[in-house]
């Protein structure tokens, strides 16, 4: 296995508060619930049930299974393809959980209120357990893929960020919301017995983590000075763009390097894959949910970090925002409205992948 290490420097302001009462009722309830729902990754998971020769996730529910270029592969190559894709995703989840462990450790120092410190502290234990359970699981398979460069850049930025609000947005509301969607999906799709056993526990933990971020930021964002809020809105837009991969910057491209370790002949397979997926109008996307539209953007809308000026930029990525109705619709990048707003950006010479330029279309 590749062992990758990277370091980042952070100038972190630590806030000590000589006041120990818990004042935010919702956060206190969340903290109390977290204490009651702890579990042990070593003892509460029956690792003897591991079955190495079955799919991690139900391939019939995977988008890849809907593609002709996949369906025409021999059975052994399909099995290898689906397992490699699943283990790549689990590897990135593992790296994201370590990032969450480190960022939450920083939040214990940085958040100013005792309620937030308690909530972040109990999440540190949750994240340590998640790192343990996913690392153990990948060890069972004998496979662990390195952190994707896109995820690495976001993690480095999060760890070096000096504002606790930005750390909370990036980790609790964006990355943890993406993970939450995967865990929700994993509960429905899990096949391998050990994965099927522990993923609901991780899902329950993760839902509390996202709730903490939303509750903390709902109260904080309205208090920010205009320049601080604008900086955070831009930071949010940039992070969403990097993860969603819909602004001309494909995300998690290292997945193709991972697939090269499978039995599939990528030289023959990739041109067919690119050709088949190049026209989104011909793809069967029925029932598929993008984590951005399902969880991330609704939570960002709830805390007030999707400003009117960025609505066209999100539309250019295929996300239609209705701020009045607090609604997010995934219309995809091939929709006429998406194409029209992209053309408007092109005519103005603006790059909608850049948060500042994305906000200048209506100026």
Distances (CA, A) of 183 to 151, 200, 202, 291, 292: 18, 7, 7, 11, 14
Confidence category of residue 24, pLDDT binned at 50, 70, 90: low
Highest mean pLDDT among 53-67, 145-159, 262-276, 315-329: 315-329
Least confident of 168-172, 246-250, 262-266: 246-250
What is the predicted pLDDT for the residue at 1?
A: 46
What is the predicted pLDDT for the residue at 21?
A: 63
> Is the CB of residue 95 less than 8 Å from the CB of residue 147?
yes
What is the predicted pLDDT for the residue at 287?
A: 63
Confidence category of residue 9, pLDDT binned at 50, 70, 90: low
Sign of CA dihedral 346, 350, 353, 355: negative
Confidence category of residue 17, pLDDT binned at 50, 70, 90: low
Strand partners, 321: 328
Highest mean pLDDT among 130-134, 263-267, 331-335: 130-134
Domains of the chain: 25-276 (1.10.620.20), 307-363 (no CATH)
Interval 79-83 mean pLDDT:
94
The number of CA neighbours under 13 Å toward the Cβ of 5 is 0
CA–CA separation, 83 and 56 (whole Å): 6
Q: Which long-range contacts (CB under 8 A, 24 or more apart) does 312-316 make?
A: 312/341, 312/344, 312/345, 312/352, 312/358, 312/361, 312/362, 313/237, 313/352, 313/355, 313/358, 313/359, 313/361, 314/237, 314/240, 315/341, 316/247, 316/341, 316/342, 316/345, 316/352, 316/358
Higher pLDDT, 60 or 252: 60
- Residue 13: pLDDT above 80? no
- Residue 20: pLDDT above 50? no
Average pLDDT, the chain: 87
């Amino acid at each position: 296995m590749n062992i990758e290490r990277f370091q980042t420097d952070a100038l972190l302001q630590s806030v000590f508060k000589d006041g120990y009462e818990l004042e935010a009722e919702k956060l206190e309830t969340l903290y109390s619930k977290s204490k009651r729902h702890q579990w042990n990754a070593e003892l509460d998971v029956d690792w003897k049930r591991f079955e190495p020769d079955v799919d991690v996730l139900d391939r019939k529910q995977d988008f890849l299974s809907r593609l002709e270029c996949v369906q025409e592969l021999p059975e052994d190559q399909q099995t290898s393809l689906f397992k490699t894709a699943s283990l790549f995703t689990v590897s990135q989840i593992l790296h994201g959980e370590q990032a969450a462990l480190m960022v939450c450790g920083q939040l214990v120092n940085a958040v100013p209120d005792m309620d937030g410190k308690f909530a972040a502290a109990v999440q540190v234990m949750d994240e340590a357990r998640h790192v343990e359970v996913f690392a153990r699981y990948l060890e069972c398979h004998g496979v662990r893929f390195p952190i994707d460069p896109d995820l690495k850049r976001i993690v480095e930025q999060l760890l070096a960020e000096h504002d606790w609000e930005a750390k909370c947005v990036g980790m609790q509301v964006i990355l943890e919301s993406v993970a939450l969607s995967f865990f929700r999906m994993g509960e429905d799709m899990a096949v391998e017995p050990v994965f099927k056993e522990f993923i609901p526990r991780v899902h329950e933990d993760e839902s509390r983590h996202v709730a903490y971020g939303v509750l903390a930021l709902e109260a904080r964002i309205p208090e920010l000075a205009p320049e601080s809020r604008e900086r955070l809105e831009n930071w949010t837009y940039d992070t969403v763009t990097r993860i969603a991969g819909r602004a001309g910057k494909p995300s998690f491209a290292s997945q193709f390097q991972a697939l090269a370790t499978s039995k599939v002949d990528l030289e023959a397979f990739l041109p067919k894959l690119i050709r088949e997926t190049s026209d989104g109008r011909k793809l069967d996307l029925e029932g598929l949910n993008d984590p951005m539209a399902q969880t991330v953007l609704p939570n960002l809308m709830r805390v007030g970090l999707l400003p009117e000026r960025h609505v066209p930029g999100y539309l250019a990525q295929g996300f239609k925002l209705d701020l009045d109705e607090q609604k997010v619709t995934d219309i995809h990048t091939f929709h006429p409205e998406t194409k029209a707003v992209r053309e408007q950006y092109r005519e103005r010479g603006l790059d909608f992948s850049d948060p500042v330029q994305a906000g200048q279309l209506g100026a």
